[in-house]
Structure 1
Amino acid sequence: MSRSNLFFLAVAVGAIAMAFWYRQQVFQEKPVPTTPKLAFVTGGSGPYWQLTAEGARAAAKSLDCELDVELPQDDESLDQQMTILTRLNLDKLDGVALSPLDAEGQTNMINRIQQQTNVVTFDSDAPHSMRRGHVGTSNYGAGGICARLVAEALPDGGDVLVLMANLTKENMIDRKSGFEETLNKPPAEGAEEKSTPQYNIVGFLIDTGDATISKQNIKVTLKSHPELACIVGMNSQHAAIIMDVLKEVDKLGKIKVVTFDAEPAALEGIEAGNIYATIAQDPYKYGFEATRMLSTLSRSGADELPIVGGGTVNINAEPIRQNELKEFKDRLLARTTKPEKPKDVKN
């Protein structure tokens, strides 16, 4: 063989070897971590989000995972949450749990993260993204429960105001749909039209998580609808806001109130008879199950999930009325939380 042929053969062999090495580096499976490193990103730092973080920490401890809890300073702040997500060192993470504040707007971001590590959503979902799983409740069903509580509180019907932080989160969109469709459900066939109470939803008012805007929404509505019979708070912060405004205008106990989540203000309002009921979720379990799912994915891979749709853990919501309050409080005693310091996010 001539010297030139030997040279070209050596180059070809070297090229094949380099291609094989590159393929091995790029396509080799990520080693299974002995102690998965996970990030848990909430939608705020209020009591509700503290409970999700407490559940996540409990799961990480029991499953031997390293967990970094990231809480935006302000509830419902999409800018702060996105800043946290862009700062994550994905090369050193085996999974990210996220409660997306904008289901559609954050889909591309979630997809980019998923290309580098596992993503699981909790509380609120981004169903059109590539996330590997979701932990939450049926918010359409929770909205239906809320509507039935309004019907219990107002058996004769009346004007109803609904407060909402936003309509960008998947859970809020579903919650609104379930509420509206259940409350406006036509009477059963054969029922007398006169006996069917009429409910008039005077508005679904958005406050972007801002207490000042929410209070103003209530006050303006009370002036424009003096016969307002019920106020519904669709987010955890609304119970305290509604109680403050109704106390200020001397209407505590005169307007029925239905809220979401087991915030202290909601439970105190129920005990005092100023809130008819609240719909309790289980944020502690959301955090625990999301972390457990990430631990399983990082150690066992995709084989642990269904082929279609990823993995979903559905946790039921529960109505809490005054006669159910004591038993519910007893269940909460085992879940005392120590507030986590929120991240100081500068945009």
Structure 2
Amino acid sequence: MKKLLLTGIACAVLTTLGAASQGADKKTLAFVVNGSSDFWKAAEAGVKKAQSELPNYNLVFKYPEQSSAAIQTRMMDDLVASGVAGIMVSAVDPKTMGDALNRVGSQVALFTTDSDAPNSKRIAYIGSSNTDAGKQAGQLLLKALPNGGKCMGFVGLPGADNARERIDGVKETIKGSKIELIDVRADDIDQTRAKRNVEDMLTAHPEVNCMIGFYSYNTPSIYSVLKDAGKLGQITIVGFDEDPITLGGVKEGTIVGTVVQQPYEWGYQGMKDMAKYLEGDKSFIPANHLIIVPTKIIDKTNVDAFWTELKARQGKK
């Protein structure tokens, strides 16, 4: 009896050690964003979906406590030190983070999303063509302002490729028209400052009859300030991304439209592709190392259908 008991204990210990070893063998993949914003909830849902299909990996989603290149760099260095196998990152400032990204990319599989860093050691970019997205926003402006207008833009990180490319796309599309983008104000992903920027411009530039929110939270800030000022419907608003306030404004007609990305796919496809890469499959990487997930225009004609799809993906009713 004693022998049987000892044998049972030994088996239990071996089983426990085997399970621990199996858990320790799992590779960790991290998705690192550029700041705290509801925009990233869709990407987080995509990562969660990927986790259900990648049982041999541990997937983590990381928000920096502040939108800072230094803080984001420290976060990636800590992840590398902890033994992660791959990182997908939306770099706060790709131009100043070159050395840091190269350091990370020389140690783990590095992919970029949202804002690319093409001169770094990243393996591929998975995300939108921000230039095309900017052109789509420009198309919304041309349709909404056939007689021209003076527009003010608002953005989080003007040095990031996603911001610069969106702005350039808008400018390229409205070139030669009577629409002018007179300025773009930055807020460093500080939402209090984002709102204050709109308030300041409303006072300093009464001639402005059009506002563009280039980051996901910028359009809700515009909406809130104009609502408080009693100017909703008087100033044309064009946005980016799918914040609920933005979609509500599109539905009620106070926002002309918004150009939406597919961050859910960045999270889902990005994690799956990183796993493929680590397993030796590089066939999915195109020659230009750009995996483009298309953007689309959401206006009053398709906002209800889009919102229903978005809620379903995020597990909401």
Q: Normalising by structure 2, report the TM-score.
A: 0.86
Aligned to 2:11: none
1:158/1:309 CA distance change after superposition, 3 Å: closer
Following TM superposition, by how much is the alpha carbon of 1:117 offset from its aligned partner in structure 2, in angstroms?
1.3
Q: Deviations over 1:241-284 (max 9, x none)?
A: 11111012110111110010011110111122211101111111
| 1:34 Cα offset (Å) | 7.0
CA distance in 2, matches of 1:305, 1:225: 47
Q: What code does the residue aligned with 1:264 have?
A: P
Number of the residue aligned with 1:177: 168
The Cα RMSD (Å) is 2.0
Higher relative contact order (CA 8 A, sep 6+): 1
Maintained 8 Å contact 2:69/2:97: no
The runs of at least 4 aligned residues of structure 1 exceeding 6 Å deviation read none
User: Is the Cα contact below 8 Å between 1:273 and 1:322 reproduced in 2?
Assistant: yes
Q: Residue 219 of structure 1 aligns to which amino acid in structure 2?
A: E
Q: Which residue of 1 aligns with 2:129?
A: 138
Deviations 1:276-302 (A, max 9, x none): 101111111011111111101111155
2:28 maps to which residue?
37
Shift of 1:55: 0.7
Q: Name which one, 1 or 2, has greater alpha-carbon Rg.
A: 1
Q: Describe the superposition over 1:147-189 as per-residue Cα deviations: whole angstroms up to 9, x where unpaired.
A: 11011111111111111112221111111111111111x3xxx
In structure 2, which of residues 87, 94, 108 is the aligned counterpart of residue 96 of structure 1? 87
Could you say if the C-alpha distance between residues 212 and 305 of structure 1 is closer, same or farther in structure 2, counting changes exceeding 3 Å? closer
Looking at structure 1, the residues matched to 141 and 217 of structure 2 have their Cα atoms a distance apart, in angstroms, of: 19
How far is the alpha carbon of 1:333 from its aligned partner? 3.0
Alignment match, 1:49:
40
Give structure 2 stretches of 5+ with no counterpart. Answer: 1-23
- Separation of aligned partners in 2, 1:289 and 1:106: 25
1:326 corresponds in structure 2 to 304
> Following superposition of structure 1 onto structure 2, how do residues 255-294 of structure 1 map, counting pairs within 5 Å?
255-294=235-274
Letter in 2 for 1:123: D
The answer to whether the Cα contact below 8 Å between 1:134 and 1:290 also exists between their aligned partners in 2 is no
Confirm or deny: 8 A CA contact 1:143 1:178 kept in the other structure.
Answer: yes
Which residue is equivalent to 2:192?
212
Q: 1:280 to 1:110 in 2, by over 3 A?
A: same
Q: Which residue of 1 aligns with 2:13?
A: none
Which residue of structure 1 aligns with residue 21 of structure 2? none
The equivalent of 1:238 in structure 2 is: 218
Q: Deviations over 1:187-207 (max 9, x none)?
A: xxxxxxxxxx51122211111
Please, which of 293, 303, 307 is the counterpart of residue 315 of structure 1?
Answer: 293
In 2, the alpha carbon distance for the partners of 1:305 and 1:243 equals 40
Q: CA deviation at 1:222?
A: 2.1
The 1:44–1:337 alpha-carbon spacing in structure 2 relative to 1, beyond 3 Å, is: farther
User: How many Å separate the matches in 1 of 2:296 and 2:148?
Assistant: 23
**Match in the other structure for 1:345:** none
Conservation of the 8 A alpha-carbon contact between 1:91 and 1:116:
no
Report the identity percentage: 29
